[in-house]
Amino acid sequence: MQPIDYADASPEVRAVYDDIMASRGVTDVNNFWKYLANDPKGLRRTWTSVKEIMAPGALDPLVKEMLYVAVSASNGCDYCIASHTAAARKAGMSDAMLGELLAVVGMANETNRLAQGYRIPVDAQFGGPKD
Protein backbone atom coordinates (compact mmCIF):
# COMPACT_ATOMS: atom_id res chain seq x y z
CA MET A 1 0.00 0.00 0.00
CA GLN A 2 0.99 3.63 -0.49
CA PRO A 3 1.14 6.35 2.19
CA ILE A 4 -1.65 8.94 2.10
CA ASP A 5 -0.54 12.56 2.42
CA TYR A 6 -2.69 15.22 4.05
CA ALA A 7 -3.48 16.81 0.68
CA ASP A 8 -4.92 13.55 -0.63
CA ALA A 9 -6.71 12.48 2.55
CA SER A 10 -10.45 12.22 3.13
CA PRO A 11 -12.09 14.49 5.74
CA GLU A 12 -12.26 11.50 8.14
CA VAL A 13 -8.51 10.90 7.83
CA ARG A 14 -7.68 14.61 7.99
CA ALA A 15 -9.54 14.89 11.29
CA VAL A 16 -7.24 12.27 12.81
CA TYR A 17 -4.12 13.85 11.28
CA ASP A 18 -5.20 17.23 12.71
CA ASP A 19 -5.59 15.76 16.18
CA ILE A 20 -2.18 14.01 15.99
CA MET A 21 -0.46 17.22 14.87
CA ALA A 22 -2.19 19.33 17.53
CA SER A 23 -1.47 16.81 20.32
CA ARG A 24 2.19 16.48 19.41
CA GLY A 25 2.91 20.01 18.25
CA VAL A 26 4.19 18.91 14.85
CA THR A 27 3.38 20.11 11.33
CA ASP A 28 3.08 16.71 9.66
CA VAL A 29 2.36 13.14 10.79
CA ASN A 30 4.99 10.42 10.43
CA ASN A 31 4.81 7.51 7.98
CA PHE A 32 3.14 5.12 10.44
CA TRP A 33 -0.09 7.14 10.31
CA LYS A 34 0.12 7.79 6.55
CA TYR A 35 0.19 4.04 5.82
CA LEU A 36 -2.43 3.20 8.44
CA ALA A 37 -4.72 5.75 6.75
CA ASN A 38 -5.44 3.11 4.10
CA ASP A 39 -7.73 1.67 6.80
CA PRO A 40 -9.49 4.83 8.08
CA LYS A 41 -11.31 3.07 10.92
CA GLY A 42 -8.05 1.42 11.99
CA LEU A 43 -6.29 4.78 11.85
CA ARG A 44 -8.86 6.39 14.15
CA ARG A 45 -8.99 3.41 16.53
CA THR A 46 -5.20 3.10 16.80
CA TRP A 47 -4.66 6.81 17.39
CA THR A 48 -7.42 6.92 20.03
CA SER A 49 -5.82 3.99 21.87
CA VAL A 50 -2.24 5.29 21.59
CA LYS A 51 -3.30 8.73 22.80
CA GLU A 52 -5.10 7.26 25.83
CA ILE A 53 -2.36 4.74 26.71
CA MET A 54 0.58 7.13 26.38
CA ALA A 55 -1.02 9.95 28.39
CA PRO A 56 0.32 10.67 31.91
CA GLY A 57 -1.19 8.35 34.51
CA ALA A 58 0.27 6.09 37.17
CA LEU A 59 3.38 6.05 34.95
CA ASP A 60 4.87 9.17 33.46
CA PRO A 61 5.15 9.53 29.68
CA LEU A 62 8.95 9.05 29.64
CA VAL A 63 8.68 5.67 31.37
CA LYS A 64 5.95 4.69 28.91
CA GLU A 65 8.08 5.64 25.92
CA MET A 66 11.00 3.65 27.35
CA LEU A 67 8.75 0.60 27.78
CA TYR A 68 7.73 1.04 24.14
CA VAL A 69 11.39 1.11 23.05
CA ALA A 70 12.12 -1.98 25.16
CA VAL A 71 9.36 -4.03 23.53
CA SER A 72 10.27 -2.78 20.04
CA ALA A 73 13.96 -3.66 20.52
CA SER A 74 12.93 -7.06 21.81
CA ASN A 75 10.75 -7.62 18.73
CA GLY A 76 13.33 -6.26 16.30
CA CYS A 77 10.89 -3.82 14.66
CA ASP A 78 13.19 -1.30 12.91
CA TYR A 79 10.52 1.33 12.33
CA CYS A 80 9.28 1.13 15.91
CA ILE A 81 12.77 1.30 17.45
CA ALA A 82 13.58 4.35 15.34
CA SER A 83 10.36 6.28 16.01
CA HIS A 84 9.99 5.48 19.70
CA THR A 85 13.67 6.08 20.47
CA ALA A 86 13.14 9.53 18.97
CA ALA A 87 9.98 10.01 21.05
CA ALA A 88 11.74 8.87 24.23
CA ARG A 89 14.65 11.24 23.61
CA LYS A 90 12.19 14.10 23.12
CA ALA A 91 10.63 13.13 26.48
CA GLY A 92 14.03 13.33 28.21
CA MET A 93 15.90 10.05 27.67
CA SER A 94 19.68 10.55 27.67
CA ASP A 95 22.30 8.34 25.98
CA ALA A 96 23.15 6.82 29.36
CA MET A 97 19.50 6.01 30.01
CA LEU A 98 19.16 4.36 26.60
CA GLY A 99 22.33 2.34 27.21
CA GLU A 100 20.99 1.05 30.53
CA LEU A 101 17.57 0.36 29.00
CA LEU A 102 19.09 -1.77 26.27
CA ALA A 103 21.29 -3.56 28.81
CA VAL A 104 18.14 -4.57 30.74
CA VAL A 105 16.39 -5.62 27.53
CA GLY A 106 19.36 -7.76 26.53
CA MET A 107 19.68 -9.35 29.97
CA ALA A 108 15.93 -10.03 30.17
CA ASN A 109 16.05 -11.80 26.81
CA GLU A 110 19.03 -13.85 28.00
CA THR A 111 17.51 -14.93 31.32
CA ASN A 112 14.07 -15.53 29.74
CA ARG A 113 15.68 -18.25 27.58
CA LEU A 114 17.65 -19.70 30.47
CA ALA A 115 14.43 -19.97 32.51
CA GLN A 116 12.65 -21.67 29.63
CA GLY A 117 15.52 -23.92 28.57
CA TYR A 118 16.11 -25.20 32.13
CA ARG A 119 12.32 -25.71 32.50
CA ILE A 120 12.32 -23.89 35.85
CA PRO A 121 9.08 -24.24 37.89
CA VAL A 122 7.60 -21.05 39.36
CA ASP A 123 8.52 -20.72 43.06
CA ALA A 124 5.66 -20.94 45.57
CA GLN A 125 6.28 -17.35 46.72
CA PHE A 126 5.75 -16.12 43.12
CA GLY A 127 2.43 -17.94 42.78
CA GLY A 128 3.71 -21.39 41.79
CA PRO A 129 2.41 -24.64 43.28
CA LYS A 130 3.19 -25.43 46.93
CA ASP A 131 5.12 -28.67 47.41
- Using CB under 8 A as the binding rule, the residues of this chain from 7 to 36 that contact a copy of itself are 30-32, 35-36
Residue 6 is a binding residue for a copy of itself (CB under 8 A) = no
Site string for a copy of itself, 41-70 (x = CB under 8 A): xx--xx--xx-xxx--xxx---xx-xxxxx
Span 86-125, contacts to a copy of itself by CB under 8 A: 86, 94-123, 125
Residue with smaller CB distance to a copy of itself, 15 or 54 = 54
Residue with smaller CB distance to a copy of itself, 20 or 72 = 72
In the set 13, 127, 129, 131, which binds a copy of itself (CB under 8 A)?
A: 127
Integer Cα distance of 31 and 4 in angstroms: 9
Contact indicator for 62, 91 with CB cutoff of 8 Å: yes
Integer Cα distance of 55 and 15 in angstroms: 20
Please state, as a whole number, how many other Cβ atoms lie within 10 Å of the Cβ of residue 36.
Answer: 21
Q: Residue 38, by phi and psi: left (phi above 0), alpha (psi -120 to 50) or beta?
A: alpha
Residue with smaller CB distance to a copy of itself, 23 or 94 = 94
State the burial class of residue 66 (Cβ atoms within 10 Å of its Cβ: 0-12, 13-18, 19+): buried
Span 73-92, contacts to a copy of itself by CB under 8 A: 73-86
